[in-house]
Chains A and B, each alone.
Chain A
């Protein structure tokens, strides 16, 4: 059995019992005999806490879901107690991973995310489903009083993103988006340099994202045993099974948004952060893209659009092979430029990085552990380094770029009201109806 630090698995169970007693007492004064959750991380109350661990459930046991869960399993302040997936094999893999880590047999597997959200004693969920499930799962979790670590892109479409932000705000939840580049030094340094005017007034930004992917439409095939295909599709349009689900869903607009939406929550988010534009959006968007004409795979394989902001900055978003610096974020100012990517930092003049930020200059929130930042904020109720509104604004740029490319027109956008001006057809693409019986 692994050493779990101050709380052994046995005492974790004990602490949950204590937590229930504590919460029951907390709820009594509220007359809460109703079906409301009464969740508040007891660690908020420091030394008075019945338990200092954040009790977590994870929804989606694919690549990112497992990766995030392993990260949380390695955090001594977290206890993962439940997992969820609509694929039986993946669910079992997730359950086994948790139990192997703790040396126990008590991780609860759930087929339906609503049952996981109702799991007694949860403080938070880690959400890593395909994009088309983000909104409903997140809103359900927020309504249940859970804090959320959610994968990027924030939402499948813009209206769903706004609904998610509203829910997070309405229920006072802590949200962290998986835009983990914010918690990496070179991105943080680059953004602080830009924010503090080291390259002068920025007039243009190039955001290079990986080139899109495409596969030929596979033939119809039988649904594998153990995969609940109807639940997997959820609110997305019904479509016959062609062997396309895990991983490859990203190249299908009904479920994802291609490489463009996958990465917009990274490099565009960083662009916004450096400019201090991460709580607003562009005022116009135009561009074009190559959309494969498949029955299944239809996300753009290449894309190139430019967003103009009210302060005069233009952000050009394109797949990397169309940009001089390829993948990454490059801010271009009156006095030079800075480019940053994973493991990379370049600037002109070359010694810009030496001009570190001193006391009294603008400091951006610092995190060196993205998941840890979430757990810390769950405990102290502060805002994470990538809260819902910020993530929504970076995803919005992708959604608007997509609409501009799909309609072939310049889109005029009001970032305050989040409405497209004078183009009803384009406006209709801001959201979509959920497949019955699902709704936001």
Chain B
């Protein structure tokens, strides 16, 4: 059964009508139906029928404040009955949690000392916004011990009960480490000035000292959050002193940075120059957001400090995104440290200008890491003039740097470069090869005819690159079916070599037109054509290729190739198993009779087990007749039948 938790819901309506209720208007009277729980709560034990509680849970949804009070009163009345079982009380309090108000505090508070009910009681009470809850929790603090008291301590901390400071201070000196620890943490969570002072004065055993200091830090943070920024700042500054443990100093510095949010850069600089690794790491974390905004030069100046790790600082400056770091980066671009040099060169992308163009182009010839950094930087340098300048250099096809620039222009999405790249593709050198790769990144559907024309012109080794660029251009259209007219239109007049390329392009693009062309090629019976079509089916599974794949499977003997052919449709089954489970079942049904070996049958069985349909179950059950698969199929059928049964019960 499912309960539609909405007063407007048809399922809720049916549910409530079945109870003789109406959703609106009469709800206050209908709430009396909660009283119908009485017979159940007198006998309920874990594992019994849960329906009465589920029904009651649905009834308390969508109530207005008056109705909530009425529901609360009914539930409290039930709880007041001494005959109610403990298990039922847990469930009643779970419902009460949804409607509880101040009337619940005293009766529920009485159960805080009951080991079975204490947690349920705290669930009802902990988030109630009434001071009476603090009083009952404080009373329970005196009346409990062990785990129950730990729970109460935790709730007082979460509620930030100021009146709990004194008793918790006493508990912080308990001989029980768990109690002392919980009390210290609760004092930190309460975070009032008196809690902080109490924590400051407490003398605890060494093993709890870290907890005490941590609680103080948390208290200082709470003070800040509640507007006592001056006091919090004084405390945080004190806790940055080097006679405090480093983790506390780190936390204090980070708190100080939040308190002095408009002047956090000096805090970051203090941390970065502390010479303490943990604090330096924390300082790096602050650089990105540190204020004031014009502190970038001061932060970047730290790059000259040999005790500060330069590469992470450069990365932080990049994240900060202020070009004021540029001059410092230019210095580091000539650092003796290759890691720092590469980091600085890369940073000149987002933080540099066209003035760095020549430097970055020159670095394309440096070591691999630096060259990659320079390429990254050139891809990101802002300003349209950079595109114009790069294109001017590239169009001469002189290498270096033209080959590298082809890729960079592609990454910059510079489509003005496409005509020059088509021209460069004819060059039998690195510039030609890289330009064809760039075309795969940039070429548009409108470029397909020119790419096809290049098939006859490019060096033989570049043919595959052109094919890939054409496929990428077709797919970039995101049309279904893909725009293949220029490819298929070129087929009749194509040379044998070009025909293979065109079929490969169409095959990789997919769709019904490609499927028809591949089927036609396969029908020729030419072994080379059949091999080509088979390899396309293996490499590019496509829903439009299913029928052709089934056909090819019937005519293929090589077991390895057959397994690879099967993989395509099974991949589609996997993709379709949730949203298109009927289509997935159809594919499995078509494949099953084609399977020859145990391995093939097993692949289909495993795929079928993941498709939750009656058709798939029938398929698996058919496999139980196969002696080799009987055991696995029986197991799979049992599992799937169970899943389908559960789904049938799931509305």
- The answer to whether B476 and A353 have CB atoms under 8 Å apart is yes
In the assembled complex, the Cα of A366 lies from the Cα of B603 at a distance in Å of 37
Nearest residue (CB) in A for B213 is A34
- The answer to whether B312 and A357 have CB atoms under 8 Å apart is no
- Cβ of B47 within 8 Å of any chain A Cβ, yes or no, is yes
Question: Contact flags (1/0) for A272-288 with B, using CB distance below 8 Å?
Answer: 00000000000000011
Q: Which residues of chain A are near B649, meaning CB under 8 Å?
A: 214, 216
Q: Which residues of chain B are near A360, meaning CB under 8 Å?
A: 382-384
Q: A240 with B150: in contact, given A293-B55, A380-B284, A406-B5 (CB under 8 Å)?
A: no
- The answer to whether B476 and A437 have CB atoms under 8 Å apart is no
Contact segment of B92-100, B163-171, B496-504, B594-602: B92-100
Q: Which residues of chain B are near A346, meaning CB under 8 Å?
A: 478
Q: List 29 A-B contacts (CB under 8 A).
A: A29-B276, A35-B206, A36-B245, A40-B277, A44-B277, A46-B311, A46-B312, A48-B309, A171-B247, A172-B285, A214-B650, A239-B46, A292-B2, A293-B3, A294-B54, A301-B650, A363-B380, A380-B312, A406-B5, A406-B98, A408-B7, A409-B62, A428-B100, A428-B129, A431-B126, A431-B127, A435-B119, A437-B178, A439-B185
- Cβ of B175 within 8 Å of any chain A Cβ, yes or no, is no
Nearest residue (CB) in A for B479 is A350
- The answer to whether B50 and A295 have CB atoms under 8 Å apart is yes
Nearest residue (CB) in B for A167 is B218
In the assembled complex, the Cα of A424 lies from the Cα of B63 at a distance in Å of 13
In the assembled complex, the Cα of A288 lies from the Cα of B3 at a distance in Å of 11
- The answer to whether A382 and B315 have CB atoms under 8 Å apart is yes
Q: A359 with B382: in contact, given A29-B242, A32-B245, A44-B309 (CB under 8 Å)?
A: yes
- The answer to whether A288 and B5 have CB atoms under 8 Å apart is yes
Known: A31-B243, A436-B148. 9 other contacts (CB 8 A): A29-B275, A30-B276, A36-B210, A45-B277, A172-B281, A237-B94, A358-B413, A380-B316, A382-B284
Q: A382 with B316: in contact, given A36-B246, A40-B281 (CB under 8 Å)?
A: yes
Q: Which residues of chain A are near B444, meaning CB under 8 Å?
A: 354
The interface on chain B, measured as residues whose beta carbon lies within 8 A of the other chain's beta carbons, has a size of 117
Q: A408 with B278: in contact, given A220-B46, A428-B127, A433-B158 (CB under 8 Å)?
A: no
- Kindly provide the distance from the CB of A203 to the nearest chain B CB, expressed in whole angstroms: 23
Q: Which residues of chain A are near B507, meaning CB under 8 Å?
A: none
- The answer to whether A170 and B246 have CB atoms under 8 Å apart is no
Query: Which of B118, B155, B285, B310 has the largest count of A CB atoms less than 10 A from its CB?
Result: B285
The interface on chain A, measured as residues whose beta carbon lies within 8 A of the other chain's beta carbons, has a size of 97
Q: Which residues of chain A are near B476, meaning CB under 8 Å?
A: 351, 353-354
In the assembled complex, the Cα of A34 lies from the Cα of B211 at a distance in Å of 10
- Cβ of B128 within 8 Å of any chain A Cβ, yes or no, is yes
- The answer to whether A214 and B281 have CB atoms under 8 Å apart is no
- The answer to whether B413 and A356 have CB atoms under 8 Å apart is yes
- Kindly provide the distance from the CB of A285 to the nearest chain B CB, expressed in whole angstroms: 13
- Chain A facing B: main interface SS: loop
Q: Which residues of chain B are near A424, meaning CB under 8 Å?
A: 101, 128-129
- Cβ of B157 within 8 Å of any chain A Cβ, yes or no, is yes
- Cβ of B199 within 8 Å of any chain A Cβ, yes or no, is no
- Cβ of A425 within 8 Å of any chain B Cβ, yes or no, is yes
In the assembled complex, the Cα of A364 lies from the Cα of B255 at a distance in Å of 28
Q: Which residues of chain B are near A1, meaning CB under 8 Å?
A: none
- Cβ of B147 within 8 Å of any chain A Cβ, yes or no, is yes
Out of A42, A217, A354, A379, name the residue touching B277 (CB < 8 Å): A42
- Cβ of B120 within 8 Å of any chain A Cβ, yes or no, is yes
- The answer to whether A46 and B248 have CB atoms under 8 Å apart is no
Give residues of chain A (30-71) contacting chain B, Cβ–Cβ below 8 Å: 30-42, 44-48
- Kindly provide the distance from the CB of A255 to the nearest chain B CB, expressed in whole angstroms: 14
Cross-chain pair count, CB within 8 angstroms: 291
In the assembled complex, the Cα of A40 lies from the Cα of B283 at a distance in Å of 12
- Kindly provide the distance from the CB of B280 to the nearest chain A CB, expressed in whole angstroms: 7
- Cβ of B182 within 8 Å of any chain A Cβ, yes or no, is yes
- Kindly provide the distance from the CB of B584 to the nearest chain A CB, expressed in whole angstroms: 15
Q: A436 with B151: in contact, given A31-B245, A36-B246, A408-B5 (CB under 8 Å)?
A: yes
- Cβ of A26 within 8 Å of any chain B Cβ, yes or no, is yes
- Kindly provide the distance from the CB of A125 to the nearest chain B CB, expressed in whole angstroms: 16
Nearest residue (CB) in B for A292 is B2
- The answer to whether A44 and B280 have CB atoms under 8 Å apart is yes
- Cβ of B631 within 8 Å of any chain A Cβ, yes or no, is no
- Kindly provide the distance from the CB of B294 to the nearest chain A CB, expressed in whole angstroms: 22
Q: Which residues of chain A are near B186, meaning CB under 8 Å?
A: 439
Question: Contact flags (1/0) for B250-284 with A, using CB distance below 8 Å?
Answer: 11001100100000000000000001111011101
Nearest residue (CB) in A for B285 is A381
Nearest residue (CB) in B for A49 is B309
Nearest residue (CB) in B for A221 is B47
- Cβ of A427 within 8 Å of any chain B Cβ, yes or no, is yes
Query: Which of B47, B129, B249, B382 has the largest count of A CB atoms less than 10 A from its CB?
Result: B47
- The answer to whether A405 and B5 have CB atoms under 8 Å apart is yes
- Kindly provide the distance from the CB of A164 to the nearest chain B CB, expressed in whole angstroms: 14
- Cβ of A429 within 8 Å of any chain B Cβ, yes or no, is yes
- Cβ of B57 within 8 Å of any chain A Cβ, yes or no, is yes
Q: Which residues of chain A are near B120, meaning CB under 8 Å?
A: 237
In the assembled complex, the Cα of A379 lies from the Cα of B249 at a distance in Å of 20
